[in-house]
Amino acid sequence: MATVLPARGIRVPSAPPAVAETDAPGATWAPSPNFGPRRHGGAPSLVVLHYTAMPDAAAALDRLRDPEPPEGLGPVSAHYLISERGDLWQMVREADRAWHAGVGNWAGCEDVNSHSIGIELANTGAHPFAEPQMAALEALLSGIMARWSIGPEGVIAHSDMAPGRKSDPGPRFDWRRLARQGLALWPEGDATPGDFDADLAAIGYRAPEGCSDTLLLNAFRLRFRPWATGPLTDADRAAARSLAARTA
């Protein structure tokens, strides 16, 4: 059984008003009012990873459950939040639509919120992701992917589906670690360089209307080659070819 948290903050009350079952074992139920039904009526097929870009997990938990944020900000939510210490909170049922992805497109899907589960990682974006946090994420992803039959190609970055608009979880996130456990994709082997644009489209990348020629290259590198700079290279093309071949 999971403990229900109060409307704001992360302190557990001495006499919680109700007890709820979470979808993920070990999660604390901290419900957000910011959610709705999935508009397509089906099951999620994606998992979108974010960083919170906030000082700590407590601030993020408040923000993700605030129905009336300050002027200029809209209400947001995610299905899960993981602290640097590995604490796990669930705010929205996996079967429901959380408000985490925003405007974007992945593999032709423009309503990513209706097709995804959102996971927020407490991190400012300026430092590496802590070991307890990564371990908790791995356990959470394993369960989500099993429950909803999501393959490693369905685990994506916020920056993947919103290139240029979003940069999280950023260059310090260890995607290769997830890939070693079958929880995400990573380029493998020595693929022959191919048609970069066609391979990016096969992977799922879509360019926003009117974007620069380098926008998708930068988004691709942010996740798969964050050390790379300069014009498109054969190494970029080979990495994209390797990934496209595994998502076909």
> Percentages helix, strand, coil for the chain, rounded to the nearest 5?
30, 15, 55
Query: Are residues 157 and 103 part of one domain?
Result: yes
50: phi then psi, degrees, rounded to nearest 5: -130, 160
51: phi then psi, degrees, rounded to nearest 5: -110, 155
- Non-local CB neighbours of 214 within 8 Å, separated by 6+ positions: none
Q: Is the pLDDT of residue 159 over 70?
A: yes
Query: Are residues 141 and 215 part of one domain?
Result: no
- Residue at a domain's end among 139, 159, 185: 185
Other CB atoms within 10 Å distance of the CB of residue 72? 5
Q: Which two tokens stand for residue 186?
A: 């990573």
CA distance 42 to 45: 9
Number of domains in the chain: 2
Q: What is the pTM of this model?
A: 0.91
Query: Are residues 110 and 13 part of one domain?
Result: yes
- Residue at a domain's end among 167, 185, 203: 185
Pairing between β-strand 80-82 and β-strand 88-90 as defined by DSSP bridges: antiparallel
Q: Is the pLDDT of residue 69 over 60?
A: yes
Query: Are residues 181 and 147 part of one domain?
Result: yes
- Are 241 and 194 in contact by the 8 Å Cβ rule? The answer is yes
CB neighbour burial string for 80-94, b if at least 16 within 10 angstroms, e if fewer: bbbbbebbbbbbbbb
Q: Is the pLDDT of residue 184 over 90?
A: yes
When pLDDT is cut at 50, 70 and 90, the band that residue 87 belongs to is: very high
Closest CA to 137 of 87, 76, 78: 87
pLDDT on residue 6: 41
Query: Are residues 179 and 63 part of one domain?
Result: yes
Query: Are residues 210 and 171 part of one domain?
Result: no
pLDDT on residue 189: 87
Domain of 157, CATH number, reads 3.40.80.10
Query: Are residues 80 and 174 part of one domain?
Result: yes
- pLDDT tens digits along 71-84: 999 999 999 999 99
- Residue at a domain's end among 165, 185, 205: 185
Please give the average per-residue pLDDT across 172-178, as a whole number: 98
Please give the average per-residue pLDDT across 188-195, as a whole number: 94
Query: Are residues 19 and 97 part of one domain?
Result: yes
Please give the average per-residue pLDDT across 112-128, as a whole number: 97
Query: Are residues 139 and 99 part of one domain?
Result: yes
More confident residue, 14 or 84: 84
Query: Are residues 234 and 174 part of one domain?
Result: no
Task: Identify the three-state secondary structure at position 166.
Answer: strand
Q: Is the pLDDT of residue 121 over 70?
A: yes
Task: Identify the three-state secondary structure at position 201.
Answer: helix
Q: Is the pLDDT of residue 210 over 90?
A: no
When pLDDT is cut at 50, 70 and 90, the band that residue 20 belongs to is: low
Q: Is the pLDDT of residue 138 over 80?
A: yes
Please identify which of the residues 120, 138, 153, 188 carries the catalytic annotation.
120
CA-based end-to-end distance of the chain: 40
Please give the average per-residue pLDDT across 29-55, as a whole number: 96
Give the chain's count of helices (H) and strands (E): 7, 10
Of 20-24, 140-144, 180-184, 240-244, where does mean pLDDT reach its minimum? 20-24
pLDDT on residue 68: 94
Q: Is the pLDDT of residue 1 over 60?
A: no
Of 60-69, 123-132, 207-216, where does mean pLDDT reach its minimum? 207-216
CA distance 217 to 227: 13
CA 164 vs CA 23, 159, 180, 215, 219: distances in Å = 33, 7, 28, 6, 7
Q: Is the pLDDT of residue 2 over 50?
A: no
CA distance 17 to 13: 9
120 is catalytic: yes
Query: Are residues 144 and 245 part of one domain?
Result: no
Please give the average per-residue pLDDT across 96-110, as a whole number: 97
- Residue 135: give the domain boundaries: 2-185
Query: Are residues 179 and 76 part of one domain?
Result: yes
